[in-house]
Structure 1
Amino acid sequence: MTADPLPYPLRLTGTGIVLREWQPEDLTDLIALLDEPEIARWTPMPSPFDEESGKAYLKRAHQGRTSGSRIQLAITTDGGRPLGEVLLFSVNHDLREAELGYLVGHPHRRRGLASAALSTLSGYACGTLRLRRLLLRIDPANVPSTLVARRCGYWLTGEPPIVQEGPYGPTRLETWEYVDGRSATRPERQRNVAYRRYGGRR
């Protein structure tokens, strides 16, 4: 039995954000967002990220969206200029799980955009798509990303790290999970690897 494709087009609204489909006219803003060593350090983006890279990226995003194989949305505050991206991919319908990712351009960080976008898409994935387990893959040295994950209710698992090569060297990706939108209890937090490593949130 073939699984239903992911919804397209899609527009989601969260606290202070609007998540929308990428458009061809976003090319200039996309290049400005992704042509940054800090993003290339933690993701498999090409570096430098030029016009050719941008056009190829938008083409792949469009193909993935129209085929229903992934959700890939621009993060905006009002449906206008893209400030980042959030995505859902590698969906396993049998296990009811998928992987998510997010990024925000350097000038737009420290505004809560990544947390708002991840929270909004996670809620949609569990509520509307009825996925049971959501995953993030994050290098522990990428501290801002780990803080976003924890803030949105994700918890570090004990799964072996995944080594991924990038233009600035390898990354060692650890797996974080969010299960059924359920908040962990205090005993669960104390047992959790992330809680022991990064400490309790005050």
Structure 2
Amino acid sequence: MAIRPDYPLTTERLRLRPFTRGDVDAVHSYRSRPDVARYLFDAPLSREDCALAVQQRTTQLHLDQEGDRIILAVESQADGVLLGEISLIWRSSEARQGEVGWIFHPAYQGKGFASEAARRLIHLAFENGEFHRLYARCDAGNVASWRLMERLGMRREAHFREHAVFKGEWDEEFYYAILLREWQARQAG
């Protein structure tokens, strides 16, 4: 299984495209925020850390083998503003599974942009039938994220209570998933 899309991927309002070096300030505008970092593995990022992250993302564009990831900038087609990022990670070749994720600037949350971008990325993952299952995960306190998963048709499969120490506190995490046949049924309906 290989996924090598032609970029950009588009939706009605969005363009999902490779990151460029010119995106550092826009990424820093949300990745430096404590309210965004609260649910991420990273602490708020400095501009230098953002520059390194963007540099890495410029090459994360294809899935050729297990462990590869696609991480794309999500920008508005209307004005070219970078709203956030979305990712697809090939987690298991044997089980044909992947993980989707997203990070959006708080100024652009609650407007349907993350749903629109995630639907497009899920479509990319499932369109050739190679993936059997996609999952997403989030901190149980990240209500906006797990509600997005539900809007995407994913079902909650697990609630891990106090399973790890995360940023000095016991972590609770939700796992959601959707199968290829479930996605296909939603598209047909």
TM range (shorter): 0.7 to 0.9
| Structure 1 residue ranges without an equivalent (≥5) | 186-202
Q: Hey, what's the Cα distance between the residues in 2 that align with 1:125 and 1:97?
A: 10
Aligned to 2:164: 163
Summarize the alignment of residues 117-196 of structure 1 with structure 2, pairs less than 5 Å apart: 117-128=117-128, 130-158=130-158, 160=160, 163=164, 165-166=166-167, 169=169, 171-180=171-180, 182=182
Shift of 1:110: 1.4
Q: Hey, what's the Cα distance between the residues in 2 that align with 1:25 and 1:45?
A: 22
What amino acid maps onto 1:77 in structure 2? S
Shift of 1:71: 0.7
Aligned to 1:10: 7
3-state secondary structure, aligned to 1:89: strand
Q: Hey, what's the Cα distance between the residues in 1 that align with 2:170 and 2:26?
A: 27
| Structure 2 residue ranges without an equivalent (≥5) | none
Shift of 1:101: 0.4
* 1:21/1:74 contact within 8 Å kept: yes
Q: Hey, what's the Cα distance between the residues in 2 that align with 1:184 and 1:62?
A: 31
Q: Does 1:32 align with 2:29?
A: yes
Structure 1 range deviating more: 62-71 or 83-92: 62-71
Aligned to 2:57: 61
User: Do the aligned partners of residues 183 and 19 (structure 1) sit closer, same or farther apart at CA in structure 2, a change above 3 Å counting?
Assistant: closer
The alignment yields a C-alpha RMSD, in angstroms, of 2.6
Shift of 1:62: 2.6
* 1:163/1:173 contact within 8 Å kept: no
Higher strand share goes to which structure?
2
Using the size of structure 1 for normalisation, the TM-score is 0.78
Aligned positions, number:
180
User: Do the aligned partners of residues 148 and 165 (structure 1) sit closer, same or farther apart at CA in structure 2, a change above 3 Å counting?
Assistant: same
* 1:135/1:175 contact within 8 Å kept: yes
Deviations 1:87-125 (A, max 9, x none): 011431221111110121011111101111111111110
3-state secondary structure, aligned to 2:118: helix
Q: Hey, what's the Cα distance between the residues in 2 that align with 1:120 and 1:67?
A: 16
User: Which protein has greater RCO, CA pairs closer than 8 Å, 6+ apart?
Assistant: 1
Q: Hey, what's the Cα distance between the residues in 2 that align with 1:70 and 1:139?
A: 21
User: Do the aligned partners of residues 8 and 156 (structure 1) sit closer, same or farther apart at CA in structure 2, a change above 3 Å counting?
Assistant: same
Q: Hey, what's the Cα distance between the residues in 2 that align with 1:59 and 1:124?
A: 23
User: Do the aligned partners of residues 10 and 183 (structure 1) sit closer, same or farther apart at CA in structure 2, a change above 3 Å counting?
Assistant: closer
Shift of 1:163: 3.1
3-state secondary structure, aligned to 1:94: coil
3-state secondary structure, aligned to 1:158: strand
* 2:70/2:87 contact within 8 Å kept: yes
User: Do the aligned partners of residues 64 and 165 (structure 1) sit closer, same or farther apart at CA in structure 2, a change above 3 Å counting?
Assistant: farther
What amino acid maps onto 2:86 in structure 1? V
User: Do the aligned partners of residues 34 and 7 (structure 1) sit closer, same or farther apart at CA in structure 2, a change above 3 Å counting?
Assistant: same
Shift of 1:15: 3.2
**Percent of aligned pairs with the same residue?**
20
